[in-house]
Amino acid sequence: LPIWYRRSAEGGYFRGQYNWASVLLRDGRIGEAAVWLEHAAAGGTPGVRRAVRDLVRAHPALHALGERLGDDAPAVAA
C-alpha cells in the first residue's frame, strides 16, 4: 500500500501526498514528510489542509512547517 501512496504523491495527487507523508512520519522521516505535507496543503481541499494542520500540531518536530503554513497554534507535546 505505501508504494501506491508514494506513486500517487509523486503524481501530484494531494491525498496521496498526505498519505505518503503519514507513512514517512510513522517511519521517522520527518524532513521528507514535511515536504509532502506542504505539497498536500498547497494543493489540497480545505479538509486536507485542516488534516495537515492537525497532523503538524500533533508532531512537535513539524513546528517549522506549521510556521510556514501560518499555523500559530502550538504543537501538542508528544
Burial 35-60 (b: 16+ CB within 10 A, else e): ebbbbbbeebeeebbebbbebbbebe
The structure's pTM equals 0.84
Give the three-class secondary structure for 4.
Answer: helix
Q: What confidence score (pLDDT) does residue 71 get?
A: 53
pLDDT means over runs of 10, the chain (78 residues): 94 96 95 95 94 91 84 42
Q: What confidence score (pLDDT) does residue 60 get?
A: 86
Rounded Cα gap, residues 59 and 11, in angstroms: 26
